[in-house]
Amino acid sequence: MDSVTSDARAPLSASADNGLKIVIVGGFGVGKTTLVRSVSEIRPLNTEETMTQAGASVDDISEVRGKSATTVAFDFGRITLDTHNILYLFGAPGQERFWFLWDRLFSGTLGAIVLVDTRRIDESWYAIDRLEHYGTPFIVACNDFGGPPHTPAQIREALDLDPHVPLLDCDARSRESSKQVLITLVEHLQSRYARHGAAAAEGALQSPEPAL
């Protein structure tokens, strides 16, 4: 999936002092690089390499026949939320042989986006498993590849998603659609931390008074 990337290199504000790390994960060829490209305010750093015949026996490209390049480390982009808060976007490589990099990318991550191709939904299980293992909050975005339609209930069942995990459709080629994915993640994180804060406060109020 191709996207148009702006040549603008927006300078980072001198007042920006809070960097928030977001990781985009998912299977091979689900559109992670495309999403970073479409939404980043700077020209993204890509570590794409041309796919050759030598990799045909390693990477299954039967469902992504138009794909000619692949990420071998990670993609990096940036988007400014306000004068103090910056989102740093890291797109993880999708092939199984690069999954060992994911654990390092998850370090210090505020939250994650699991990008899904519903034609190959089983390739999303590993990403969700690793995020749940690390306790990293995430949302699920189904990228539009024009496959057969699935209801949200069907997708949730196939992925065994917790009811609290947001699920939405997107087109990773569209800047507006990709922005909505990020907004959904930020809102999910705010809601999650608000719930945890309220639960902690309630627990403190219900604790017995210390003996004097």
Q: Is the pLDDT of residue 201 over 80?
A: no
Q: Is the pLDDT of residue 205 over 70?
A: no
Question: Is-above-0.85 flag for pTM?
Answer: no
123 band by pLDDT with thresholds 50, 70 and 90:
confident
How many angstroms separate the CA atoms of 211 and 75, rounded?
55
Determine the average pLDDT of the residues in 122-148.
90
CB 172, CB 115: distance < 8 Å:
yes
Q: Is the pLDDT of residue 105 over 60?
A: yes
Q: Is the pLDDT of residue 153 over 60?
A: yes
Determine the average pLDDT of the residues in 146-156.
89
CB 64, CB 32: distance < 8 Å:
no
